[in-house]
């Protein structure tokens, strides 16, 4: 099964929705980073949100990065969505047991970085209370973009899904009332429910974007990172006399640079 996001809108342009089916991507992330259930649940939400936010951008090359940090900054999760529906993530989780992890993630901060090719990326930070990432994403849209949104995540039967519904500027009061009613009655159990939900909200699917976990790291990129350390640092690595192993934090692939390779980088 492949992952995808549906974009839907009502015929009066009052409501729009993005529904993501991301089981493969979430399972891949869990496997690469050996995530515990508590961490995994948050990472899935970050990946789903990043993927939907990327699709919301008008600029196809936009890069979206979501970072969740725990109350004492001992946990740091990062999900990145790049163009073409590619996603990747990294996790710094230390060596906490699940109970301490839950306490660490109970309060935290969600940082959103939108890089749409301007000189500086847009950065916003919202507080996360009671580990409720859906609420934090809603708060972000309300505060930073003045858009009323509803965010729902689901991981029933090991199927990972997310839904973001937004009110457009010309939404009428009765439409908003109806939307709230539909949400209260939502039966969000499995993938087949997703289409039914969009139908119940009288939304028409207008676009389908495939998404998947894919890291774009390369040997060349790692080499550039080494060059950016500066000549002095590079020389000290050469003087250590050992080949250097560099790991990618997103896909865990390692790149080995021999002393000769390091010499080539010092120009």
Residues forming the site for Zn ion (CB under 5 A):
215, 217, 248, 250-251
46 or 215: whose CB is closer to Zn ion? 215
| Tokens encoding 1 | 């099964």
Query: Taking a C-beta distance cutoff of 8 angstroms, is the pair 42, 80 a contact?
Result: no
Q: Smallest gap, in angstroms, from Cβ of residue 64 to Zn ion?
A: 18
Q: Smallest gap, in angstroms, from Cβ of residue 247 to Zn ion?
A: 9
27 or 182: whose CB is closer to Zn ion? 27
66 or 197: whose CB is closer to Zn ion? 66
Q: Smallest gap, in angstroms, from Cβ of residue 51 to Zn ion?
A: 18
51 or 215: whose CB is closer to Zn ion? 215
Q: What is the DSSP letter of 72?
A: T
Structure-token match 């993005």, residue found: 18
What is the rounded CA–CA span in Å between residue 220 and residue 209? Answer: 29
Instruction: Enumerate the H helices of 146-204 as residue ranges.
Output: 173-185, 191-200
What is the rounded CA–CA span in Å between residue 114 and residue 123? Answer: 6
As a whole number of angstroms, the longest Cα–Cα distance in the chain is 72
21 or 251: whose CB is closer to Zn ion? 251
Q: Smallest gap, in angstroms, from Cβ of residue 100 to Zn ion?
A: 29
Q: Smallest gap, in angstroms, from Cβ of residue 214 to Zn ion?
A: 9
Query: Taking a C-beta distance cutoff of 8 angstroms, is the pair 33, 89 a contact?
Result: yes
- Tell me the sheet residues that pair with 148: none
35 or 133: whose CB is closer to Zn ion? 35
What is the rounded CA–CA span in Å between residue 229 and residue 224? Answer: 9
What is the rounded CA–CA span in Å between residue 64 and residue 82? Answer: 7
Structure-token match 């689901």, residue found: 154
Measured CA angle at 250 (ends 249, 254), to 5 deg? 60
Q: Smallest gap, in angstroms, from Cβ of residue 219 to Zn ion?
A: 11
What is the rounded CA–CA span in Å between residue 91 and residue 162? Answer: 21
Query: Taking a C-beta distance cutoff of 8 angstroms, is the pair 134, 111 a contact?
Result: no
86 or 109: whose CB is closer to Zn ion? 86
Q: Smallest gap, in angstroms, from Cβ of residue 37 to Zn ion?
A: 24
């Amino acid at each position: 099964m492949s992952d995808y996001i549906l974009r839907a809108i009502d015929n009066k342009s009052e409501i729009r929705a993005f529904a993501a089916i991301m089981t493969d991507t979430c399972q891949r992330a869990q496997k690469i980073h050996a995530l515990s259930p508590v961490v995994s649940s948050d990472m899935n939400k970050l990946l789903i949100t990043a993927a939907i936010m990327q699709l919301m951008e008008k600029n196809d090359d936009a890069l979206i990065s979501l970072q969740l940090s725990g109350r004492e900054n001992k946990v740091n999760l990062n999900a990145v969505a790049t163009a073409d529906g590619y996603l990747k993530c990294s996790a710094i989780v230390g060596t906490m047991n699940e109970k301490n992890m839950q306490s660490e993630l109970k309060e935290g901060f969600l940082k959103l970085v939108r890089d749409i090719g301007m000189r500086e990326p847009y950065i916003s930070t919202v507080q996360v209370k009671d580990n409720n990432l859906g609420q934090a994403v809603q708060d972000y849209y309300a505060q930073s973009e003045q858009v009323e949104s509803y965010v729902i995540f689901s991981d029933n039967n090991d199927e990972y899904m997310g839904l973001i519904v937004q009110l457009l500027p010309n939404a009428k009061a009765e439409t908003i009332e109806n939307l709230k009613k539909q949400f209260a009655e939502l039966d969000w159990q499995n993938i087949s429910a997703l289409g039914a939900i969009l139908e119940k909200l009288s939304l028409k699917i207008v676009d389908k974007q495939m998404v998947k976990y894919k890291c774009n790291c390369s040997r060349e990129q790692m080499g550039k990172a080494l060059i950016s350390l500066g000549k002095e640092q590079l020389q000290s690595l050469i003087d250590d006399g050992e080949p250097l192993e560099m790991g990618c934090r997103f896909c865990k692939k390692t790149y080995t640079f021999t002393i000769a390779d390091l010499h080539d980088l010092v120009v």
